[in-house]
């Protein structure tokens, strides 16, 4: 099979039926006849907007020929980064089709805590091995959770156990559903294929920067839960892990609480995938002696622009073409103190969302629907923080640091209305009194003012340095009316649970997983961590 890279597809050609257009492009590029081509398969598709006068798609395509010997002849005419013969390997299977080691029943029934991506993939893997896992989730199923999030956004009334952070799907359920990740793992394909098997669109398998969107993700989660139950797993919602009973340094039982009723269950293996915001659980785990340490992370605010301005900045005159997706960006700049400023978790056509689980605190994040058709683009604008900033060497001092910022914002605003400042005002060091072109998307609403009410001065100084530089790289990024809504304090966990290479804590039978444990930074990396634990541990 020949793998052809950097195949150029114009924006107008992208509207044509895929198979026919790929055959035509390949024939032209490889200088062969279309009738020589046996099969074509799109591997990757990305937008190439480096030259604003020639925005197009760049494709990687696998092609086989009716005459097999053509592969080598053609490959000899190209550089390996343009076209190369590759082995036809079987595609990575989804989790339901993969081969699994049978679970050793002597280990008893495993308990998985948390139904975010880490817990869900761990439970699915265990179920495929025949372990009949019990998956407990303190929040509600995704169908009920939507109503609780809606009440928060409409009325500012928080459900502490069912919100954007807690409930089926974890922190990622009300997200943009970006499925990119920095890992280089063969299991990424299994995760993507499993999402696809549960109803995610096929394009996630080929897009350079795949995303699902919160609307589609919620349906995928329901299907995944059904598959888990079909495989013998059990899911209990509104069910919280409140204690572990240890014997000789190993897990012997777990205390779980559901609808006010506490139950002790005998269990030897507990997979702890509780995310970065289960602060109550962190505290009792620390008291129990579960080893953990401080971890650096990053804080800042969400920046919002009009999506059409970002499109113009990225695509030039091609902006608005029906085949082009809403434009994305990723920017970073070093700062003299080494912290750096960078954009993170960009949501094209998205909205800023409150991501809190406790009263008296404000933390924002971003989400979008599959169509990414909102008026604004948003992204976290983050500045690195380090354990020296936390003011104590207690392993949970990073949580206290986050809380101070979140509580200052809440106190200043007198509720969940988040502080918001125009970029021009931030650069001039003055309060915002009125909005301009960009309207904030955050609900239950914003309080105009100065982000100095909650964010440390090193963050604001770093912004003043970075914003003009970002504006030079992406026209309009530092536009006067762009908005900063904050604070965003939970970009990742401020804590890392210590674990052995097999993911087990020093407490035998306890496996801290995913983002809360400090080993993942997004949906896919958390899912891969959970999957590997369920497969191997």
Q: Which residues bind ligand FAD (CB under 6 A)?
A: 113-119, 136-139, 164-167, 170-172, 174-178, 240-241, 273-275, 278, 281, 345, 353, 355, 365-367, 514-516, 520, 522-524, 526
**Residue 11 beta carbon to ligand FAD: minimum distance, rounded to whole angstroms:** 26
Q: Which is nearer to ligand FAD, 40 or 513 (CB)?
A: 513
| Helical pair 187-197 and 523-536, crossing angle rounded to 10 deg | 100
> Tokens representing 537?
């541990």
| 8 Å CB contact between 518 and 511 | no
Residue 169 is classified by DSSP as: T
Q: Which is nearer to ligand FAD, 420 or 520 (CB)?
A: 520
**Residue 126 beta carbon to ligand FAD: minimum distance, rounded to whole angstroms:** 15
**Residue 338 beta carbon to ligand FAD: minimum distance, rounded to whole angstroms:** 25
**Residue 374 beta carbon to ligand FAD: minimum distance, rounded to whole angstroms:** 14
332 class by beta-carbon count within 10 Å (0-12 exposed, 13-18 middle, 19+ buried): middle
Q: Which is nearer to ligand FAD, 284 or 458 (CB)?
A: 284
Distance between CA atoms of residues 61 and 100, nearest Å = 31
Q: Which is nearer to ligand FAD, 176 or 478 (CB)?
A: 176
**Residue 16 beta carbon to ligand FAD: minimum distance, rounded to whole angstroms:** 30
Peptide bond into 487 cis (omega under 30): yes
Q: What sign results for the dihedral spanned by CA atoms 495, 501, 505, 509?
A: positive
Q: With CA atoms as reference, report the closest residue to 8 among 32, 20, 26.
A: 26
The CA distances from residue 468 to 63, 347, 436, 482, in Å, are 46, 21, 19, 12
**Residue 224 beta carbon to ligand FAD: minimum distance, rounded to whole angstroms:** 13
Bridge-based pairing state of the strands 483-488 and 376-385: unpaired
How many other CB atoms are found less than 10 A from the CB of residue 403? 16
Distance between CA atoms of residues 197 and 191, nearest Å = 10
Q: Which is nearer to ligand FAD, 13 or 160 (CB)?
A: 160
Q: Which is nearer to ligand FAD, 365 or 421 (CB)?
A: 365
**Residue 84 beta carbon to ligand FAD: minimum distance, rounded to whole angstroms:** 31
For 460, the 3-state DSSP assignment is: helix
Q: Which is nearer to ligand FAD, 432 or 493 (CB)?
A: 493
Q: Which is nearer to ligand FAD, 318 or 380 (CB)?
A: 380
> Tokens representing 253?
């039982």
Q: What sign results for the dihedral spanned by CA atoms 151, 152, 158, 163?
A: positive
**Residue 48 beta carbon to ligand FAD: minimum distance, rounded to whole angstroms:** 23
The residue whose two tokens read 């915002």 is 432
> Tokens representing 266?
């005998």
**Residue 142 beta carbon to ligand FAD: minimum distance, rounded to whole angstroms:** 10
Q: Which is nearer to ligand FAD, 176 or 450 (CB)?
A: 176
| 8 Å CB contact between 243 and 111 | no
């Amino acid at each position: 099979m020949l793998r052809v890279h950097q195949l150029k597809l114009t924006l107008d050609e992208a509207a044509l039926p895929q198979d026919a257009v790929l055959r035509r492009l390949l024939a032209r590029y490889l200088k062969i006849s279309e009738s020589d081509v046996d099969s074509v398969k799109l591997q990757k598709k990305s937008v190439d907007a480096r030259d604003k006068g020639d925005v197009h798609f760049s494709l990687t395509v696998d092609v086989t020929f009716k005459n097999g010997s053509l592969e080598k002849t053609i490959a000899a005419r190209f550089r390996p980064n343009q076209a190369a013969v590759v082995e036809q390997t079987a595609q990575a299977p989804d989790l339901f089709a993969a081969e699994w080691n049978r679970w050793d029943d002597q280990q008893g029934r495993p308990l998985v805590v948390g139904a975010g991506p880490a817990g869900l993939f761990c439970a699915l893997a265990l179920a495929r091995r025949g372990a009949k896992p019990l998956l407990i989730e303190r929040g509600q199923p995704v169908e009920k959770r939507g109503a609780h999030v809606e009440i928060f956004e409409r009325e500012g009334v928080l459900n502490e156990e069912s919100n954007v952070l807690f409930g089926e799907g974890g922190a990622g359920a009300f997200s943009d559903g970006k499925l990119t990740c920095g890992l280089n793992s063969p299991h990424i394909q299994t995760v993507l294929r499993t999402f696809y098997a549960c109803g995610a669109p096929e394009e996630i398998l080929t897009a350079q920067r795949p995303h699902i969107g919160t609307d589609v993700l919620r349906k995928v989660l329901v299907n995944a839960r059904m598959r888990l139950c079909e495989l013998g797993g059990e899911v209990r919602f509104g069910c919280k892990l409140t204690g572990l009973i240890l014997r000789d340094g190993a897990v012997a039982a777990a205390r779980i609480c559901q609808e006010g009723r506490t139950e002790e269950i005998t269990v030897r293996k507990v997979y702890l995938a509780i995310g970065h915001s289960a602060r109550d659980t962190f505290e009792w785990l620390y008291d129990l002696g579960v080893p953990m340490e401080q971890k650096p992370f990053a804080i800042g605010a969400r920046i919002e622009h009009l999506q059409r301005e970002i499109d113009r900045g990225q695509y030039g005159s091609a902006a608005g073409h029906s085949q082009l997706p809403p434009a994305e960006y990723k920017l970073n700049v070093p700062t003299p103190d080494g912290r750096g400023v960078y954009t993170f978790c960009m949501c094209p056509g998205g909205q800023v969302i409150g991501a809190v689980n406790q009263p008296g605190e404000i933390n924002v994040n971003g989400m979008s629907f599959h169509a990414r058709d909102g008026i604004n683009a948003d992204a976290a604008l983050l500045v690195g923080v380090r354990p020296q900033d936390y003011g104590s060497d207690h392993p949970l001092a990073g949580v206290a640091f986050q809380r101070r910022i979140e509580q200052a914002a809440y106190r200043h605003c007198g509720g969940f209305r988040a502080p918001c400042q125009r970029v021009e005002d931030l650069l001039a060091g003055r309060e915002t009194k009125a909005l301009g072109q960009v309207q904030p998307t955050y609900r239950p609403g914003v309080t105009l003012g100065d982000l100095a009410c909650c964010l440390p001065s090193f963050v604001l100084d770093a912004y003043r340095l970075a914003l003009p530089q970002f504006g030079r790289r992406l026209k309009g990024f530092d536009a006067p009316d762009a908005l900063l809504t904050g604070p965003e304090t939970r970009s990742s966990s401020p804590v890392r649970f210590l674990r052995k290479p097999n993911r087990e804590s020093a407490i035998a039978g306890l496996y801290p997983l995913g983002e809360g444990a400090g080993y993942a930074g997004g949906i896919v990396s958390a899912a891969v961590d959970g999957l590997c634990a369920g497969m191997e541990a």
